[in-house]
Structure 1
Amino acid sequence: MSAVPLQVLDEAIGWQLCLGSGEASPQDYQAFSIWLAQHPEHLRVWQQLGELDQQLGIAAPAPARRALLARPNRRIPRSALGLLLALGLSLGLLNTQRPLSDYLADERTGSGEILELQLPDHTQVTLNSRSAMDIQFDEHERRVFLRSGEILVETAHGDARPFLVVTEQGSLRALGTRFLVRREGDATRLVVLQSAVAAHAQQLPAERVIDAGQQVLMRRDELGQAAPAPLGAGAWSNGMLVADNLRLADLLASLDEYRPGYLSVDPRIADLRISGSFPLRDSELALAALPPSLPVRIERYTSWWVKVVPAQP
């Protein structure tokens, strides 16, 4: 099955929970029919859920199958958890998914894992959650290829060979420095914390120096304008996320990278703003800090399905 848009998937799951609860009203069914007809993607996702529902109906006893469709706060038997995991994997909804090529990387991290490395030249590299990189040192240069995710680099002194971080979009040459490199879809983000980095987009003729306190987004054919580095950009290496007037949706997207399962936000509150520090190694504690600060509540379908919704239904 192909990947599906997370918002549509979230809506489809909500409809399945509603219609499978045994408490749906005729108005619910009418609203569901309208939703189903609104977009072809709605029908595709619903059909995928239906196919999987049939598989669960064959493979699972009735109590376990009903547990998967239970409303929040109902206890789920242990036997159902394995089926829930299979459901998530089959739909591609568990965001721990990653390119298969990542598993061939020299170094990689799983969901919620932060890995500190010392390279042969004594350069310190920290891999963020769900990151993968290759290390290629020879007599001419020191090269790290970032396949996915994010790394924090603190280059060692005393080695004359250039130190490069390379991605599909170009190369970043350290000028005795400490910096962050993050893959973002078809782009690479550079955040310079100390000294400077020379950035060279793959299809541009020359490199450009980015100074400390600046960030830039690099694509194959473009090197964007330098902008101020975000507050606390490297705080994740110490297990913290620093939010400075951050959209709630963006905060949750960051927390999502450090936990298994499916974490989403109701579109009505996605643009709420929040500031503060949140622990990455305990995302449940981070989620618990939201309701006192914002008009939201945490809705749990299971330990794998969590959604942040408006405080008032």
Structure 2
Amino acid sequence: MNRVSARALDEAIAWQLCLDSGEATDRERHEFRRWLGAHPEHAQVWQQLSGIDQQLAAAASAHARRALLRGGGVRRRSLHRLSGNALALVLAVGLGLGLLAQQRPLGDYLADEMTANGEHRELRLADNSLVQLNSRTALDIDFDGPQRRLYLRRGEILVKTGHDDPRPFIIETSQGRLQPLGTRFLVRRTGEATQLIVLESAVAARPHNGSVERVVRSGEQVWIDSEHLGPTRAAPVGAEAWSRGLLVAEDMPLPQLIDTLSEYHNGYLGLDPGLDNLRISGVFPLNESDKALAALPPSLPVSIERIGRWWTRVVPAKD
């Protein structure tokens, strides 16, 4: 991104806030067109800022964006007089939009246990089982009936079953039912499917609307939808690494890596669409996303573009 003067950037931000407010007058729109044509630098900074705004706008509706602008306490008639604080305001708006993009379904807030973006939590249950919750996970726990039952609403859990209770231990999702046979395993909800990865011993898996049950053994994985069990395959490398604060990527699509790191990153983290076909292998620290991003350029034709503390994007490397 070519450098522009702080004054031009402040003026462009002020005009963007004014025009995006939905309350700009015809006179203000005319003044904006005059400003845009008054100097080549004005067109340059406006183009750059518009590209940033397109990334932020994807996180919320126009109504929500306008609400955030009004919530920033900026009066429309004084927008064109904003100085250094204008940049801070836009970055704050960007952070707010990022938070909107991370909003949770209402049901998550009704769960017995819930983790926020980038949060891990370990629970010791009444039967001495250990359950680790990955980022953005919602879990219900019901040990009051004839079964020990966990219901995974969202996210991912790592379970090591205890043996202090003779009742069956059941894990359910909206797609299926899992019964561990004295074991350690991962369960992850992704869209309309459930992924089971067995690390030790075995787990019996059955889709809710299917009649076939299959025993998945150590080192194996299976995907489950509400009707079917997918084929049993080898478990992915480093599937439980997140419990130690790491992400193991083995020929992973770059968009998947960025999506995962974004859950642990403060502010907006995006990827240029032209890089969607890139893949990467390596071990990345989840809780230090800046270090993880710094490891990308030596391996891939990318660079890291930042504006302030709250806006980061992975873009093609410049020749």
Q: After TM superposition, is the score higher than 0.5?
A: yes
The answer to whether residue 195 in structure 2 is matched with residue 189 in structure 1 is yes
**Percent identity of paired positions between Structure 1 and Structure 2:** 48
Unpaired runs of at least 5, structure 1: 1-15, 37-41, 70-75
The Cα of 1:262 is off from its aligned counterpart by 2.4
Distance 2:172 2:154 in 1: 11
Which residue type is aligned with residue 160 of structure 1? P
What is residue 309 of structure 1 aligned with on the other side?
Answer: 315
Are the counterparts in 2 of residues 56 and 65 from structure 1 also a CA contact under 8 Å?
Answer: no
Distance 2:81 2:109 in 1: 33
Are the counterparts in 2 of residues 145 and 166 from structure 1 also a CA contact under 8 Å?
Answer: yes
Which structure: larger Rg?
Answer: 2
- The secondary structure found in structure 2 opposite 1:210 is strand
Distance 2:85 2:269 in 1: 17
Distance 2:177 2:81 in 1: 51
Q: 1:67 to 1:109 in 2, by over 3 A?
A: farther
Quick one: which of 299, 303, 307 aligns to 1:293? Answer: 299
What is residue 29 of structure 2 aligned with on the other side?
Answer: none
Distance 2:108 2:65 in 1: 31
Are the counterparts in 1 of residues 150 and 170 from structure 2 also a CA contact under 8 Å?
Answer: yes
What is residue 10 of structure 1 aligned with on the other side?
Answer: none
Distance 2:155 2:81 in 1: 36
What is residue 165 of structure 1 aligned with on the other side?
Answer: 171
TM-score (norm 1): 0.77
RMSD: 3.4
The Cα of 1:52 is off from its aligned counterpart by 5.4
Are the counterparts in 2 of residues 111 and 260 from structure 1 also a CA contact under 8 Å?
Answer: no
- The secondary structure found in structure 2 opposite 1:221 is coil
TM-score (norm 2): 0.76
Quick one: which of 179, 182, 190 aligns to 2:185? Answer: 179
Distance 1:235 1:24 in 2: 47
Quick one: which of 183, 186, 210 aligns to 1:204? Answer: 210
Q: 1:214 to 1:67 in 2, by over 3 A?
A: farther
Unpaired runs of at least 5, structure 2: 1-11, 17-35
Which residue type is aligned with residue 161 of structure 2? T
The Cα of 1:303 is off from its aligned counterpart by 2.5
What is residue 3 of structure 1 aligned with on the other side?
Answer: none
How many correspondences in the alignment? 276
The answer to whether residue 74 in structure 2 is matched with residue 59 in structure 1 is yes
Distance 1:142 1:287 in 2: 41
What is residue 221 of structure 2 aligned with on the other side?
Answer: 215
The Cα of 1:215 is off from its aligned counterpart by 1.0
String of CA shifts for 1:9-52, please: whole Å, max 9, x gaps.
xxxxxxx98x9596326x969x99xxx9xxxxx99x89558745
